[in-house]
Structure 1
Amino acid sequence: MPGTERTRALSVRLLGPFVVTIDGAPLPLSSRLRTLLAVLALDVGHAVSTERIAAAVWGTDRPADTRKAIQVLVTRLRAATGADAVRTTPGGYALDVPPEAVDLHRFETVLARSNAAQERTEEYRLLREALGHWRGLPFEAVDSDVLIADDRPRLLETALQAVERAADVALSDPGQAATDTTTSTPAPDLDELAAGLRELVGLHPLREGLWVRLMAVLDRAGRRTDALAAYQDLYRTLRDELGTQPGEEAQAVHRGLLADDPAQPSPPRMLPPPDAAFRGRAEPLAALDALLDDAPGIAVVDGPGGIGKTTTVLQWAHRAADRFPDGTLFVNLRGYFPTNTPLAPEVAVRTFLDALGIPAGRIPDDADAQTALYRSVLADRRVLVVLDNARDVEQVRPLLPGGRRCVVVVTSRNRLGGLVAVEGAARVALGTLTPSEAEDVLAARLGAARLAAEPAAGDELLALCGGLPLAHVIVAERAAGRPGSPLAAVVRELHRHDSRIAALSADADRPARSVFSWSYRALGDDAARVFRLLGLHPGPHLTVPGVASLGAVTEQRARAAIAELERASLLIELAPGRFTMHELLMDYANELVAADPPQDTGAATVRMLEHYLRAAHQAEEALAPTEDRHRLGAVPDGVVGTIAPTGHDAGLALFDDEGPVFVGMVRRAAATGNPEYTWRLARCLRAFLWARGQIPTLLETGHLALDALETLGDLPEQVACRRWITHALLRLGRLDDAWRTIEPTLPLAESCADDARAWVLNTMAAVLAELGRTDEALDRATQALDLFRRSGDRVGEGRTESAVGLYLRRLGRLDDALAAAQRAFDTLTEADDLWIRAYTRELIGDIQRDRGEPGASADTLRAYTEDLRSLGRETGLAEALDKLAAAYDAAGEPHRAATTRRDAEAVRSGVPAATSSRPPSSTA
């Protein structure tokens, strides 16, 4: 019959946008008819009760006569689909069409066949066929709370389980990389599978099973960096949404990625050298030995300053180093450094990640995520972590590894009772040396024969040192430097200084202060003056040119003074040309320099700041040569210059060496009332801190600079500083804080030049874009562009037009976006702004891809990768090569795509430990 033929031609799609066709032509239906047909199609061929139909169509707001209302709907549906498409049954209705007319039935049928498949390749083929029926969320365009709330989750769960099973099958046999010759079934396309999984984790971000498969598939496809990045995405998602961390399965996959990473370098060995003359401390060493067989182990070695905590721990750590095949980590947390702030935990974590060889592209900006990555890296490794000179528990906790094979030893003047009570740390308390230990220490440094020749003088020396190891070291070195002088003479000198200082010292400090005073007064004039002035230096280390500038002496005289201080054990050489001082000695130097005339110490502070400003300025010029900066005048009298680094890598290396000192100088300038040096030093550090991902430090120094600029009343620099702070907040994902920072900046910029206002508008646009307010972002960027054109700032014009192109692309205005990006590219070429021009070329390639021009996109993105190589920008190169490979795939060039992916993996294997993401100015 004609009606029957029409019924057979009916097709219903539930798995995605709801579509009904007859003979291939779309069938328009009203909202309630769509719902009625959907609920019948769910159980095609089977009776559906009127109660079920009423709940799906009307929910709780049902008509007075529900049965009659359903009859009316069924009559209308039959009129549209054919008289016998819907069959009346006792208590309900059934959709009377072949089951294969409904995509859900086809999905379930093929899925059942996959369960029964004998061969893995056939199982995978059937799973893909089944999943091919899915085109989105079930019941799209069906207005039914019941179907969406009850049936959609059930169907999605079935589909997601099928996806996970398909991924497991694809990963189950590494030999599936080739076509199966018995079935002619193509092997799984891992990149296609990864793309599908990536889309699904976006839709179901809390389903860890999908993330686990995504990481594994990316790794099998040779994209280990992407796999590691996926773990970080999962970590942030669970932390932000649920306040939890990934489960054991995800963590296990992550540990496997890290453990099997070919880019991992040799284990880190960060321990400073031990003291060759170390003696004694048998009980503390035995207590530390007990940690080796009881990992995970934590010990807190505590005691007063100068008691030998670090020396004892380093002696034990070197002795036990072979028990830690995966390396040793060491950091001085500077908990009690008198002229600098304690080291922030996030800076220490980043230092450890760099030492462990984790490429910067894999290190997230967020401090919590960095800590999670650090713990994941160490989860299955046997590593010794020495945290020296901790101030409190809060400084230590983020640095505790997450695995059960690591050992942590913390030194502190504080007992850190929280670690003992909560983490179960063992406490090892150091006291003064026993008489026999003290004698052994002195004998090791002076020689047993010399000590035995004057036993009475030796006993008095020991008594004057009071069992304090630092005092023994200084006394021994001083006496050893006078081999012809009897020990009794040394004792007499010490007695005189001891009597002068006894009235000023508590008993616990007396040995150290007596020895320090005696040793200091024995120095020559230059060395004594340098020692005092070192009380002004923020540390944590110093160099010969820095000392020369501080003291207004030649480098030759500074080198001689340093050598004398080193011989007297008042300075320690950390590495060739880099020196440091014990905190107690720094305290003592502080006391001495405080008595100097203020005009002298003020002048010395200015010379020191000037020296480091010039060094930081030179490093910044090498690191970021296109950045606008204030030029410095002639070198002032008394300040010693340094050799300027040449090239990006040399600038980065200088910052790596001196970065902690530069940051300390910003703090010192702020604390001593030198606002001009505060903001200038902070300004020089921006590019480095950004490149190394030290965003919290960038924020700290940025706020110090802003305070200084407000004191000076320098509005243009205030505006620029607030922009940098905004970009730092953006990078940390603190979008609301970023907006609160940049919004009040625009009124400040009104009295500045056009380009200053333009940069503020551009930064506001960047924040608005991240907030999802793209229309507003485009409006602000367009205003900025007009101002840049008016002021003639070609760099600003080019960068802003690039941002305009980005926002237009996000709004789907691809023709306008391409035109803007091409204009930006030409302007940036003219302005010689090669870095941002490269990123604009990438934008052009992305737009071409969006426009369906894969060949042009591939050509553009290939040029972009060449830009990155020519600029020495290894950061982002692997990601760019991945994008180029995808473009080659889309252009029908699979062999070039495969070669490009191999290039990307090779780049990842050689990525340096610390790099930069694109600069904030790329979109500002």
Structure 2
Amino acid sequence: MLRFEVLGPLRVLRDGLEVDLGPAQQRSVLALLLARAGEPVTIAEFADLLWGADPPSRAVNVVHRHVGAVRRLLEPALPPRSTGRVVGGAGEYRLTVAADELDLTRFRRLVTRGRELAAQGRLADGLALAVDALGLWRGPCAGGPEALRRDHPSFTAVDRECAAVAREAAEAALYTGTVHPVLPTVLAIADLFPLDEALQAQTLLLLEAGGRRAEAVARYERVRARLADELGTDPDAELRQAYDEVARRGGPVDPAAGPPARARVAEEPAAPLRLAGSLRPAQLPPDLPVFAGRDEQIRHMARMLRSHRTRTAMPLLAIDGLPGSGKTACAVRLAHLLADSCPDGQLYVDLQGFHPSDRALDPLDVLGCFLDLLGVPDRAVPAALDARLRLARSHLAGRRVMIVLDNARDVDQVRHLLPGSADCLVLVTSRRRLDGLATAYGAHLVTLDVLPADEARRFLLARIGAVAPADDEALDEIVERCGRLPLALALVSGRALEHPGRGLADLARELRAAQGTLDGFASHTIQTDLRAVFSWSYRLLGEPAARLFRLLSLRPDREIGLPAVASLAGLPVRRCRELVGELVHTGLLTRAGPGRYRSHDLIHAYAGELCQEHDAEPVRRAARRRLHRHHCRHLGDTVEASATRGR
């Protein structure tokens, strides 16, 4: 029988006897598999653990060799090429362990049950299970002198998870007056997270309640000095309040007197075990009163994020898509659906990555706002970006907070705002596909296209069905002239609601009259005017890409291959590939397949308007001639190839 221990120095016991786990790299591979508790680990993650940013050329082979050695170590009698505990496939491996074989899974099971009991009002029983869980903790995850990297995200995530439980258990112990069973482990974990001010505050109160007031005062002074040296800040309000409580009591507490006054809060204990009141931000914009379309996509994203909750990595979803494809509405809808899984609050910010001001929000300022919402006084907010990020992560550690980062410009803007806690959930929207978030943080990426025709019809009917008589033919025409783009559909439905006397046929007639332009989609507000919305992407382009975007409106078809793009622009294919990539990154062009691209009808119309305005007729005529010659050459090559095959 095998038992695995990763809540401290790595150990494997077979029938009660410790197994020699081999050299350091092999031990590290096993430790990462165990820290992920049955979840897959990619080859890239193994390489990052073993060599950091400088893996050798043979890294993949070395990882495979170490995994093979781990497999033989755990199951020496396993026949070659058999599937055992270590399962591989698609560039990743996972280790299958039963729930009672691994201390980490036993820890989580005890904590979950303890929180359930606390939520039922059985706080003492819940605390007893939390104490049992903390009894499994022997030190930093996969720690020990032979550990190659203690700072790997999978290990630190487990450590933060233990710190959150220690903080909850400390609060519950103060409330119930049962201090001594939790104090040793809480002290040890608090030493591991000296800048976690919420944990340090609970530790001070535990020490004072256990008759160790001098030790509490000395700890406060050490933490205060370290905050000043490393973050340039003073202790936050919670830590100062805890210290004031210790100073006011001035001596040991009589257990019969009950818990400190600060811990006497609501009669109903909250779940999880945390009882001390704290500000719970609720920053989500209101959900749309009528939401239609993308139902299956939203359900899929919700399932994906809920299933991710079982992992040690932070659930992170990035939604990208065309301008006007409804990314924000989708993210807000999803956030409201998942809000109950984030009971400690929701933070929301429009990062203005694509905005009429052309000035995206600075992460430094955003972190300042977040810290304010989390209750950090202005004078305690550090000036440096990294210090603010560390402070925000400390306040979010162990809290189940949702963060919605709307309208991001790029990965660099987002990465400075990500929490370090796997308990948090992050939703990001951007016109750009943020592949870097998937690479660095394991983000789920979802791209929104235009609505399917039936969902677009439902979208319109849900909004205007009460004021416009049914007219299937006009409805279908409106849907197609809007290109099934949610923002365009919303504009048309808003117009119908403003003038309830007009029927669907009238709206279709207006759009028909404006064919080829965006005149039919003008709005009183810049946030919903299609020209303005598209312009926020256009203004981010360099001049060569902007010129190509305008010239692409001269092609008769919405889809085009890269060689044709090069002919139209009069540029080499390699240079056009770079410019097309810029258009794709800003959402003005989408990939239709290998080497092929397409634009939405309304974006195509916007490009045509700009081309008429900025490119003289001789320029447009020359571009059309180049494209015509390209098509003639391509047709000639096709005919010749066909004739050759027929001989």
| TM bucket, shorter chain | 0.3 to 0.5
TM-score of the aligned structures, taking structure 2 as reference length: 0.42
Q: Structure with the greater relative contact order (CA < 8 A, sep ≥ 6): 1 or 2? A: 2
TM-score of the aligned structures, taking structure 1 as reference length: 0.30
Higher normalized helix content (fraction of residues):
1
Give 1 or 2 for the bigger CA radius of gyration. Answer: 1
